[in-house]
Amino acid sequence: MKKLIVLLSICVFIISACSKGESSNSSSSQEPNTSVESNASDKEVELQFYFPVAVGGPITQIIDKLATDFEQENPKIKIKPIYGGSYQDTVTKVMTAVQGNNAPDIAVLLSTDLYSLISMNALEDLTPRFSQEYFDGFYDAFMGNTKSGDNVWSVPFQRSTIVLYYNKDAFKEAGLDPEKAPANWSEMREFASKLTAKDAQGKVSQWGIEIPSTGYQYWMLQAMALQGGDNIMSNDGKQVFFDQPHVQEALQMYMDLGQQDKVMPEGILEWATVPSDFISGKTAMMFHTTGNLTKVKTEAAFDFGVSFLPANKQYGSPTGGGNLYVFKDIPEENKQAAVKFIEFLTQPERVAQWSIDTGYVGTTKAAYETDLLKKYIEEFPQAQVARDQLEYAKSELSTYQNGQITKLFNDNIQAALLGNMTAKETLEKSQTQADQILKSVK
């Protein structure tokens, strides 16, 4: 009988200890859950960190330094950056690794890859890994592309919006106020006409405006569609609204700048060429990602301005860029280390420095309260424009089967810009093709 009592006492003690452990975990829910279990705390962990290099600038050196700084603070965790090329190349490598049961630990991939990765059951749900207070620290416009339902699957990191860059010196030469960017579509067309210049042989020596039409033409069109109305997809990734009147109005404007107004090169404009054209003076205005802000600041030999994209009925821009993803089929100690690395990368001072070094928008409100970013904006006010435009920003086009959807949309938009289809035909075809792809996920 005494032995039985002793055994029961031991059981009660063990249950009590387990209950206290659970209580302790729940009480720390306001902080990222980065604690490593005692049986794993002495292990050295190496994280494979896939990262795209898609925008000019010394991004790899910056990432290497962040990895080194983190390792100095966390000597048991090693970060192995793997540079995957473009966003498309990187996500292809990641998906191949996932399918081969060799998933990376953490990656920066496009925010729009969310539903494709969810459909592969590749991602770790980050909702229980961080507190709601942590998520609330990010700008709402960036959180839209992190969620499916109430669950958060990624953390904003390398984020952007589209802004208008303009050459103030060219504005002066054209008799325009260099401190006044075009506020609306009408002014954009008017200014672009005045800024388009020809040489003695009648050849265009400076275009009024350039909007890229490779790689991310859907993104440019989405911006103009937002300026005329609602977004072009549902929030659950299952439906698109390509054939709506405000999207047709936007595509017609995109086409008219080159085909009718002759203030933009007709046909195809390469994504990477447009910033070079702006820096070299071949175009006086451009639509492009704020992720090129530091490149333009460093390389342009003229005074330039940055502004909101011109409004139609309203201001508008989709967000863009990449989020931090943690993968599901990795050891628990790797998941905890990855969460700790995310916490490190998203501390206010580092977000501020990342924004300064790259031109991407600071993703957290706290970053703009740092002395570092306040001083930078005081000296270089162009750096605040993209942040301020977030008030009018919406989530970038993101759906299930997102690669197929964006490819067909990009191809059809290009056909329209080449003069092979009308705006109406382009969007009706795009809607039909997208509906066919998405019907399997409804």
Give the CA distances from residue 269 to residues 149, 278, 421, in Å, rounded to whole numbers and listed in that order: 37, 12, 18
Grade residue 440 by pLDDT with cuts at 50, 70 and 90.
Answer: confident
Reading the block at residue 327, the tokens are 């993968």
Q: What is residue 72's predicted lDDT score, i.e. its pLDDT?
A: 98
pLDDT, tens only, 132-186: 999 999 999 999 999 998 999 999 999 999 999 999 999 999 999 999 999 999 9
Grade residue 23 by pLDDT with cuts at 50, 70 and 90.
Answer: very low
The 3-state DSSP composition of the chain as helix, strand, coil percent (nearest 5) reads 50, 15, 30
Domain ranges in the chain are: 40-160+320-394, 162-319+396-441
Asked if residues 60 and 53 have their Cβ atoms less than 8 Å apart, the reply is yes
pTM: 0.86
55 pLDDT above the threshold of 90: no
Give the CA distances from residue 155 to residues 90, 130, 165, 345, 416, in Å, rounded to whole numbers and listed in that order: 17, 10, 28, 10, 35
Grade residue 19 by pLDDT with cuts at 50, 70 and 90.
Answer: very low
For residue 254, which of 242, 263, 243, 245 has the smallest C-alpha distance? 263
Instruction: Say whether 162-319+396-441 and 40-160+320-394 share the same fold.
Output: yes
Percentage of the chain modeled with pLDDT above 90: 85
Percentage of the chain modeled with pLDDT above 70: 89
For residue 417, which of 273, 252, 307 has the smallest C-alpha distance? 252
Hey, which CATH number is domain 40-160+320-394, 3.30.460.80, 3.40.190.10, 3.30.70.340, 3.30.420.40? 3.40.190.10
Reading the block at residue 323, the tokens are 């989020």
Q: What is residue 441's predicted lDDT score, i.e. its pLDDT?
A: 83
Question: What's the start-to-end Cα distance of the chain, in Å?
Answer: 63
2 pLDDT above the threshold of 50: no
Torsions phi, psi for 243 (to 5 deg): -95, 20
Q: Give the mean model confidence (pLDDT) for residues 228-236.
A: 94
Q: What is residue 301's predicted lDDT score, i.e. its pLDDT?
A: 98
Grade residue 442 by pLDDT with cuts at 50, 70 and 90.
Answer: low
Average model confidence (pLDDT) for the chain? 90
Domain 162-319+396-441 has CATH 3.90.950.10: no
